[in-house]
Amino acid sequence: MKTMQWTVDAKKDLSTNYSQISQAAQLLQKNEVVAFPTETVYGLGANAMSTEAVMKIYEAKGRPSDNPLIVHISKIEDLERFTENIQPYAEELIKSFWPGPLTIVVPCKQGKLSTKVTAGLDTVAVRMPSHPVAMEIIKQSGLPIAAPSANLSGKPSPTKAVHVLNDLDGKIAGIIDGGPTGVGLESTVVSCIGEAPVILRPGGITKEELERVAGPVRMDEALTDERKAPISPGMKYRHYAPVAPLTIVDGRPEQIQELADRYRQEGLRVGILTTKERESVYNASSVKSCGSRSKLDTVAYSLYDTLRSFDDDELDILLAESFPDEGVGKAIMNRLLKAAGNKMLQL
């Protein structure tokens, strides 16, 4: 399959890019799969009402089909097409955070979406992206769009079009290059089924921000207990992993350097993922900063791109510093732990 590519300047009037977006929207209407930028990561979109289309997502990504997908919409009214019995606090969250990087899990009307989107559950995950390209392609297609991250299953999510191309060229119908994404981590996923919201996947919108709108919010037990089965899209399997085995190390820089030295004495090529404050401290085969420890949003923005960049260094092992488990740090640590298969050393 030849993968079509279009370049769109998301900062300009999208009417100047009408033909590119229109071509992509037409492919979606024909049940093809198209990658496009959102404010979080690049998504791999398909018609959420067509099992034929949705299966192409799973096939391109190599993703297990028992893993539910997030449905993307361009206007609030679209919720009525395939959801029901939405809790009042969920409506408040929608008013406060849509469009934006918040996904809500709500009851799903039966028969409206492909069961491959919901993985047979009676709930569906929905969000309204704020990226202008994403909004325009959804609007022009006239469809609810199922869209997980546009990468091979298990690899770091794509924050640039080149990441998508590296993973999926020849596997999908098209890619819209709208430049680098903004947040850098996937949306916060919140279950809105019970009496109070539950965070199923931390993201750019923090627990504290949610609580200011919806009152007490708890974290899903599966985020901290491996014995619990996660129910959020994208959290059931190992994800975000670079080629080299990753270990998170919670310790002082000198302790991390000592560990790296022991590996190097064994003849191993070692990489270290750090921040700009400590980048000059380390000596290893590859040392890279993913942002500033004092500004964790910069770490979130660069995390996946930095993890992918280590793949070019032919490493035997990759060590990553840990981050504060608060605010957006919760999302950063969640992604790192998934990438490391929950392997973390306390020094």
Binding-site residues for L-threonine: 40, 72, 127, 147, 187
202 near 34, Cβ under 8 Å? no
| DSSP code of residue 108 | B
Binding-site positions for ATP read: 63, 67, 123, 149, 157, 201, 240
Q: Rounded to 5, what percent of the chain is helix, strand, coil?
A: 35, 20, 45
Return d(Cα 333, Cα 329) in angstroms, integer. 6
Q: Which residues pair with 299 in a beta bridge?
A: none
Longest distance between any two alpha carbons in the chain, whole Å = 61
d(CA 71, CA 196): 22
- Binding-site residues sit at 40, 63, 67, 72, 123, 127, 147, 149, 157, 187, 201, 240
Distance CA(119)–CA(111), nearest Å, equals 13
Sheet of 218-219: strands edge to edge? Answer: 4-7, 174-177, 34-37, 42-47, 145-146, 70-72, 123-127, 102-107, 188-191, 198-201, 218-219
Phi, psi (deg, nearest 5) at residue 24: -65, -40
Contact 231, 191 (CB under 8 A): yes
